[in-house]
Chain A
Amino acid sequence: DVKVTQSSRYLVKRTGEKVFLECVQDMDHENMFWYRQDPGLGLRLIYFSYDVKMKEKGDIPEGYSVSREKKERFSLILESASTNQTSMYLCASSFGSTGQSPLHFGNGTRLTVT
């Protein structure tokens, strides 16, 4: 089974802090994604990557950056955390292109910014 591991289940950070969310997958998947999930808004794509050192903006990239130095690891960075970034963050991975395989999700990181 594919395993997508997010390093923290819960995080509490202060406004203005730099925050790192880490995600690791163990199935050699090319594609990795970061979503945030908010009540009433559903899942929204922040960034994705289809190869090492490659990144593409999703629908809501403002205030975020990403890093993919190794194929198995995809990091989401909040440069200066704000209260409106309080959310559930979900990492996912898949292989191939043009939707050949389903997305596999981690269990999520619930981030609270105070």
Chain B
Amino acid sequence: KQEVTQIPAALSVPEGENLVLNCSFTDSAIYNLQWFRQDPGKGLTSLLLIQSSQREQTSGRLNASLDKSSGRSTLYIAASQPGDSATYLCAVMGGGATNKLIFGTGTLLAVQP
């Protein structure tokens, strides 16, 4: 059974710092991995989607990498801003279970001004 883990559960950094959020998964047979952002009391916003054949995706200050063989993904945020404060979740879509995403429990990020 696929399990997704995100460490740390919470992270606080000063504004301007570059940071890395980690995601690991137990079964490497995945279709894709997605990173989401969730603001308090709101739904999830899709940030990046990496297909299983890709190594990384970039959007603005965000860069996500995928290493299927080791079951790891990282989300790199450059030059963090207070507006980046949110919970970040990763999710994997597993082989053999199309369209079903398995979510990690997220990393709560606080960027201090």
Which A residues form the contact surface with B (CB < 8 A)?
4, 31, 33, 40-45, 48, 50, 58, 90, 92, 94, 97-99, 101-108, 110
Q: Top 3 nearest A-B pairs by Cβ distance? A: A105-B43, A102-B46, A99-B31
Interchain CB contact under 8 A, A43 and B89: yes
Residue of B nearest to A30 (CB): B99
| Complex CA–CA separation, A36 to B86 (angstroms) | 19
Q: Which residues of chain A have C-beta atoms less than 8 A from B46's C-beta?
A: 102-105
Chain B residues bordering chain A, tally (CB within 8 A): 23
Q: Which residues of chain B have C-beta atoms less than 8 A from A101's C-beta?
A: 49
In the assembled complex, 14 residue pairs joining A and B whose CB atoms fall closer than 8 Å, in A order, are A40-B105, A58-B100, A90-B43, A92-B43, A94-B99, A99-B32, A99-B49, A99-B51, A102-B46, A102-B49, A103-B36, A103-B101, A105-B36, A105-B44
Q: Which residues of chain B have C-beta atoms less than 8 A from A97's C-beta?
A: 98-99
Q: Is the interface of B mostly helix, strand, loop or mixed?
A: strand
| Complex CA–CA separation, A42 to B49 (angstroms) | 19
| Complex CA–CA separation, A28 to B41 (angstroms) | 26
Of A31, A41, A42, A107, the contact of B43 (CB 8 Å cutoff): A107
Q: Which residues of chain A have C-beta atoms less than 8 A from B36's C-beta?
A: 103, 105
Query: Of residues 10 to 28 in B, which have CB atoms within 8 Å of A's CB atoms?
Result: none
Interchain CB contact under 8 A, B104 and A42: yes
Q: Which residues of chain B have C-beta atoms less than 8 A from A42's C-beta?
A: 89, 103-106
Q: Which residues of chain A have C-beta atoms less than 8 A from B51's C-beta?
A: 99
Interchain CB contact under 8 A, A108 and B31: no
Residue of B nearest to A43 (CB): B103
